């Protein structure tokens, strides 16, 4: 007799990390459903997922904070074994400009989805946290026991508060098993070239900005400060291929399934610190395209350096990153080329 597949509800399934995680979940034989309101994505993502995996993922369009919608989903689906909660607003500068929206959305949706999990005895819960919870720390690399400095933005504060909330809930309800994954800087695209980062509006993160500068969509990359006390004066981050991050969600679910009770935090990074200039050089090396740069002022809220110690994820989840930053940048470029089906301009060629 065929064993029933585990059914996982992914919130924010059309988003950058959510969509890549869905592919890994399908590969690992999970039955996946999604809730996404397309506030920063489009429904085409599900067409792309179908092309890659052959599977049509059911997406319920709406807001995770909408309790009536969650109940409709449960009534229709009948059972759900686990939830991966990606849906959240994620722009640091936007959160500084509009903190009410960030607290309302990120805390409100977490509150409704975890209440829903508890009400329906859904026992596996994976939460998208962020390296932003570490705040402006100086002792590197950071591990899960590193004391948190005050978060530098309301976005970071929503993740700290989310973790606190979940810790208390797991303590009071041990049958609810929780993994909180602190993502470092996701970059890259699926190896098929058919899925990648596609935010609505102008990108704010470095990797998509490099791609835009390489393809002359923008004039150059403005490097936000080259006078930090790092090896080349530019900020250090821990860039990690989005498919590596995505795969960790499968590992986390498998881990949770084996536990009696659990509330664990895991860093998901490469463990390597890379400067802004080094990421640009990695891109230039694999694509042979020169990226025009200019040096600008420091960006408010940026910390000089942060990178992870990921030994806990390796030890407890058996997770290790498979892709290098060169491979990640190459895949992001391939995705871009497939998306626009447009060659880089002569100006950008070496
Ligand atoms: N940078 C530039 N020029 C740009 C854009 C970025 O020099 O045009 C630099 C930034 O100053 C920073 C680095 O590139 O030093 C990375 O910046 P990103 O905006 O790509 O990423 P952040 O590290 O600022 O933020 C990311 C996520 C957040 C998350 C944070 C956790 O976008 O959601 O990591 O550390 F909170």
Pocket lining: 221 vs ligand 1, CB cutoff 6 Å: yes
Distance 164 CA to ligand 1 centre (A): 24
- List alpha helices for 5-137, DSSP H: 16-27, 44-53, 67-77, 92-97, 99-102, 108-119
pLDDT-derived band at 19 (thresholds 50, 70, 90) equals very high
Query: Is residue 348 included in any domain, yes or no?
Result: no
pLDDT above 70 covers what percent of the chain?
97
> Which amino acids are annotated catalytic?
155
Question: Domain for residue 139, yes or no?
Answer: yes
DSSP track, 121-165: T--EEEEEEEGGGG-S--SSSB-TTSPPPPPSSHHHHHHHHHHHH
Place of tokens 């390597």: 272
Residue 347 domain flag: no
Distance of alpha carbon 163 from alpha carbon 169, whole angstroms: 10
**How many domains, the chain?**
1
The atom number, within ligand 1, closest to the CA of 134 reads: 35
Mean pLDDT score, 50-77: 98
Report how far residue 220's alpha carbon sits from residue 295's, in angstroms, rounded to the nearest whole number. Answer: 10
> Binning pLDDT at 50, 70 and 90, where does residue 341 land?
confident
Closest among 298, 296, 297, 305 to 278, alpha carbons compared = 305
The answer, yes or no, to whether any atom of ligand 1 lies below 6 A from the CB of 277, is no
Residues 272-285 pLDDT 10s: 999 999 999 999 99
CA atoms within 13 A on the CB side of 255: 25
3-class SS of residue 92: helix
Residue-wise pLDDT tens digits, 224-260: 999 999 999 999 999 999 999 999 999 999 999 999 9
Domain-embedded: residue 317: yes
Please report whether residue 60 resides in a domain: yes
Q: How confident is the model at residue 342 (pLDDT cuts 50, 70, 90)?
A: very low
Helix (H, G, I), strand (E, B) or coil at 47: helix
* Tokens coding 299: 């960006």
Name the residue of 202, 298, 302 whose CB sits within 8 Å of the most ligand 1 atoms, as the mutation to test its pocket.
302
Query: pTM for this structure?
Result: 0.95
Range of the domain at 41: 7-341
Q: How far is the CA of 67 from the centre of ligand 1 (A)?
A: 33
Assess whether pLDDT exceeds 90 at residue 344.
Answer: no
Whose Cα sits closest to atom 3 in ligand 1?
223
End-to-end CA distance of the chain, in Å?
Answer: 59
Query: Is residue 2 included in any domain, yes or no?
Result: no
pLDDT at 343 over 60: no
Average pLDDT score, the chain: 95
Among protein residues, the one with the nearest Cα to ligand 1's atom 19 is 205
238 part of a folded domain:
yes
E strand or H helix at 244, and its extent?
helix 242-258
CATH number of the CATH domain containing 224: 3.40.50.720
The residue contributing the CA closest to ligand 1 atom 4 is 206
User: What atom in ligand 1 is closest to the CA of residue 299?
Assistant: 11
Residue identifier of the C-alpha nearest atom 15 of ligand 1: 235
CA distances 63 to 15, 39, 277, 339, Å, are: 14, 9, 39, 28
């Amino acid at each position: 007799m065929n064993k029933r597949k585990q059914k996982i509800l992914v919130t924010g399934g059309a988003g950058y990390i959510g969509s890549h995680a869905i592919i890994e979940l399908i590969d690992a034989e999970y039955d996946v459903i999604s809730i996404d309101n397309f506030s920063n994505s489009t429904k085409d993502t599900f067409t792309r997922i179908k092309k890659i995996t052959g599977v049509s993922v059911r997406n319920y369009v709406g807001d995770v904070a909408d309790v009536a919608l969650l109940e409709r989903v449960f009534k229709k689906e009948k059972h759900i074994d686990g939830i991966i909660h990606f849906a959240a607003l994620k722009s640091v500068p936007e959160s500084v400009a509009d903190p009410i929206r960030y607290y309302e959305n990120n805390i409100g949706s977490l509150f409704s989805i975890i209440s829903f999990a508890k009400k329906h005895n859904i026992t596996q819960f994976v939460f998208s946290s962020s390296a932003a919870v570490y705040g402006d720390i100086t002792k590197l690399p950071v591990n899960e026991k590193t004391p948190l400095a005050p978060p530098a933005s309301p976005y970071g504060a929503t993740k700290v508060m989310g973790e606190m909330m979940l810790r208390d809930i797991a303590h009071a309800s041990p049958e609810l098993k929780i993994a909180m994954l602190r993502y470092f800087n996701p970059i890259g695209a699926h190896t098929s070239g058919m899925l990648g980062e596609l935010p609505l509006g102008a990108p704010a993160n470095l990797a998509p900005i490099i791609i835009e500068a390489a393809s002359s969509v923008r004039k150059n990359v403005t490097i936000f400060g080259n006078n930090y006390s790092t090896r080349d004066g530019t900020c250090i981050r821990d860039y990690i291929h989005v498919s590596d991050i995505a795969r960790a969600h499968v590992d986390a679910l498998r881990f949770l399934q084996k536990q009696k009770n659990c509330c664990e935090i895991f860093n998901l990074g490469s463990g390597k610190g890379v400067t802004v200039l080094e990421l640009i050089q990695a891109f230039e090396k694999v694509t042979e395209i020169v990226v025009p740069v200019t040096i600008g002022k420091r960006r408010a809220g940026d910390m000089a350096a942060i990178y992870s110690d990921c030994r806990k994820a390796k030890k407890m989840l058996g997770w290790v990153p498979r892709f290098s930053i060169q491979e990640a940048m190459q895949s992001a470029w391939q995705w871009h080329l497939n998306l626009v089906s447009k060659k880089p301009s002569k100006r950008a060629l070496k």
